Amino acid sequence: MASEFIFESFGRQPNVVVTDQDPAMKQAIEEVFPISRHRLCMWHIMKKMADKVGHELCNNDEFKRRMCDIVWTDSIEPEEFERQWKLLMIEFGLTENKWIDDMFGMRSMWIPAFYRHEPMSGLLRTTSTSESENHFFCQIANSQLTLVEFMNHFDGAMDVQRFNHRKNDHISRYTEPADWSQTTLEKDAAKIYTRSIFFDQQLEINGTISECLPMDTKVEGPRIRILLKDFKAHGDGLLEVWFKNLENDVTAQCSCLSFEQDGLLCKHIYFLFKMFGVKEIPNKYVTKRWTKDVVPNELNVKYNLNIGGKDVQHKAKRIACEIIHTGEYLVSNLISDLDQLVLVRD
C-alpha cells in the first residue's frame, strides 16, 4: 500500500529510502523499489555501539571523538574513511569484533562518505522524520482512546501545527533578521530563504571572514582555481574552489560538494563571490525547496483564472500574491494600533 501511494503521489520510485536494519524491510525495498538506494539509519547503528563494543570504550572521549569524526561527516572520501576506520579499530583492539566487521562490510549503506557525490538535497541521515511522527502521535493518542476522542485530540494537534506554520511563514516574509556582515549577499539571502535556512547561510557567509584563507591561485583558461584553507574543515582543511564569470554568467564549484549535496552554497563559494564582487546569489544556485515561496500559494489552488494564456494567468496570480502579501505586511505592522487598523479596514 505504501509503495502504491508513493507511485501515485510522485510518479516514480524514491531516489533513497532510509530505514533501520530490519531484514524484512531490506527485502521488501529490493523487490518494490529496485532502482532506489537503500540507506540505513546512522542513529540506530551508533546507538547499538555501546552494547556491541562495550560501554567503557564508548565512554572513552578519544574513541568517541575519532569515531564521530569519520562517521558523522560527509567531508571525507571513502578511501580516507576506510583508512581511518581500520586505524581506529587496530588502536582500540576491535579488529576481531564481529559486529564491527559487519558494519564495515555494509559501510556503503550508512556512511556519508559514500554519498558525497549524490544529490541528497538535505536528506536526513536518520529516520528522525518518522521518529518525530511517532512522537507526535504518542502525545495525542493511546490505546484507551475512543475514535471520537482521538479525532478531537488530532484536530487540536493539527491546529497547533498549522498555527506554527503560519507563524514561521509570517516571520520569514515580514520580519527582518539581524544583519551580521553588512554584505549584499547576506541581504539577498534574507530575501530568498526561509528564516531557518537563512540562519544556516548567514553562518556560512560569516565564516568567510574568520574561517577561510586563500593559499594559492591559478588561472586555467576561463576558470580561476583557488586553493582555500578552511580552519574548521576536516583534516588539513584544504579545498579547491573554481570560479568563472563569462558575460555576467557566474559559475562556481567547490570540492566540499555542499551545493551538489544539499542545494545550499558553502562558505568557500561565498568567499569567492565576495572576492570577485558578486553582489547577489545567482539564480542557478537558488534551490526552490529552501525558499520562502516553496509552498504553493493558495491562489493556485482556490482560483481558476480563465484569462488569456499561461503567461497572463501567471502574471495575474503574481500580482494577486503581491496584493495579498502587501495587505498582510500592512496588517502586521498596524496590529497594535487599533485606530489605524480600523482606518485601513474602512
Tens-place pLDDT, residues 325-338: 777 777 777 777 88
Higher pLDDT, 12 or 28: 28
Cα(174)–Cα(146) distance, rounded to whole angstroms? Answer: 42
Contact at 8 Å (CB) between 303 and 321? Answer: no
Nearest to 37 by CA among 114, 131, 130, 132: 114
Question: What digits encode the pLDDT tens for the residues 242-297?
Answer: 999 988 899 999 998 889 888 899 999 999 999 999 999 999 999 888 998 776 55
Write 230-235 long-range contacts (CB < 8 A, 24+).
230/256, 230/267, 230/268, 232/207, 233/75, 234/69, 234/73, 234/75, 234/76, 235/75, 235/76, 235/80
Question: Quick one: what percent of the chain has pLDDT higher than 70?
Answer: 88
Q: Which residue has the cell 569524526?
A: 69
pLDDT in tens, 227-241: 999 998 877 889 999
By residue count, the chain amounts to: 346
- Has residue 175 got a pLDDT over 80? yes
The pLDDT confidence band at residue 22, using thresholds 50, 70 and 90, is confident
Residues 6+ away with beta carbon under 8 Å from 20? 40, 41, 44, 127
Q: What is the pTM for the complete model shown?
A: 0.71
CA distance 321 to 185: 25
DSSP single-letter state for residue 263: S
pLDDT in the model for residue 131:
56
User: In this predicted structure, what is the pLDDT of residue 128?
Assistant: 52
